[in-house]
């Protein structure tokens, strides 16, 4: 069951990463929300000063700030962290199932690792392919 969850979760992360990469050049730095003091439209600029989103009255200041905060650089860093968590969880589960190892990992660690994987996947529960049996236990 975990194999399917992990494959599906990695696919979600790859899709999210591709969308972030397509949205902007990670080398352009963090996005910043700027309000125009002259009463014009708000803008979101990348780290080198290029405008990436014009407010034009469609987004509230709060929505624009949220967009800027979740720029491609942040998304890339977030995905890298999630991938490291997945790798470590799988290592813990594998170690716990290996009866030839010294007691460096026990069943409680494996249960926690599985719970972490389920929690990570639950953030994408509204995406196609998510299975109810993957829901976190609590």
What integer pLDDT is reported at residue 105 of this predicted model? Answer: 57
Of residues 19 and 103, which shows the higher confidence score?
Answer: 19
Q: What is the mean pLDDT of residues 86-98?
A: 90
Q: Point out the least confidently predicted range of 40-44, 99-103, 119-123.
A: 99-103
> Could you tell me the pTM of the whole model?
0.84
What integer pLDDT is reported at residue 51 of this predicted model? Answer: 85
- 37 C-beta neighbours (distance < 10 Å), count: 6
* pLDDT bucket at 34, cuts 50 / 70 / 90: confident
Of residues 107 and 120, which shows the higher confidence score?
Answer: 120
């Amino acid at each position: 069951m975990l194999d399917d969850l992990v494959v599906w979760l990695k696919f979600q992360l790859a899709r999210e990463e591709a969308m972030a990469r397509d949205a902007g050049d990670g080398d352009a730095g963090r996005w910043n929300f700027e309000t125009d003091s002259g009463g014009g439209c708000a803008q979101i600029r990348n780290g080198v000063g290029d405008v990436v989103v014009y407010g034009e009255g469609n987004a509230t200041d709060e929505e624009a700030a949220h967009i800027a905060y979740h720029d491609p650089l942040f998304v890339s860093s977030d995905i890298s962290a999630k991938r490291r968590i997945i790798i470590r969880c799988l290592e813990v589960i594998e170690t716990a199932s290996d009866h030839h190892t010294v007691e460096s990992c026990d069943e409680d660690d494996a249960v926690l690792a599985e719970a972490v994987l389920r929690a990570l996947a639950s953030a994408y529960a509204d995406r196609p392919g998510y299975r109810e049996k993957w829901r976190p236990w609590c």
